[in-house]
Amino acid sequence: MQDACYGLVFSYAVDAFQDSIGFDTAYRDATGCTIYLVEDHKYFLREVKAGAAVQVETLVLGVDEKRFHLYMIMREGGEVVAKGEFMEMHVQQHPSPTARPPPCDTGLGKTPRSKRYSHHLRPRFKRITPA
């Protein structure tokens, strides 16, 4: 995969994590809120071929009233191929994007720091070549 594809795989895993703690499509539609990526750092350890099945494990490093700090490990066949660290922020989108604490009934504040979330993904990307 090209380097940009690793970021997309991690992004899909963040989406799956958000869904698992209650920030799914129904939540976004009902509240007008979503999660923004504030900062990320990716470490590429081994090449993954396009179409390979990967698993992404998500660990919650920290949570405050508006943000959550994630550490993700991407594996192919049990071997670590990439790692990433991500800072995400809860944002009310309307009338203009503003960081807001989520309502109390969401899973963000109750997300255990020690819990591991695992998502199996099979990205399908084509190599992009300059014209």
Structure tokens at 83: 């790692």
pLDDT along the chain (131 residues), means of 10: 87 89 88 91 91 88 86 93 94 88 62 58 50 53
Q: Give the pLDDT confidence score for residue 131 in this predicted structure.
A: 53
Nearest to 69 by CA among 80, 81, 60, 56: 60
Distance in angstroms (rounded) separating the CA atoms of residues 22 and 31: 12
Strand-pairing partners, residue 62, are 69
The architecture that CATH gives domain 3-121 is Roll (3.10)
Structure tokens at 52: 């390979």
Distance in angstroms (rounded) separating the CA atoms of residues 9 and 7: 5
Q: Is the pTM of this model over 0.85?
A: no
pLDDT tens per residue across span 86-116? 999 999 988 888 888 876 555 555 555 555 6
Q: Give the pLDDT confidence score for residue 87 in this predicted structure.
A: 94
Q: Give the pLDDT confidence score for residue 3 in this predicted structure.
A: 83
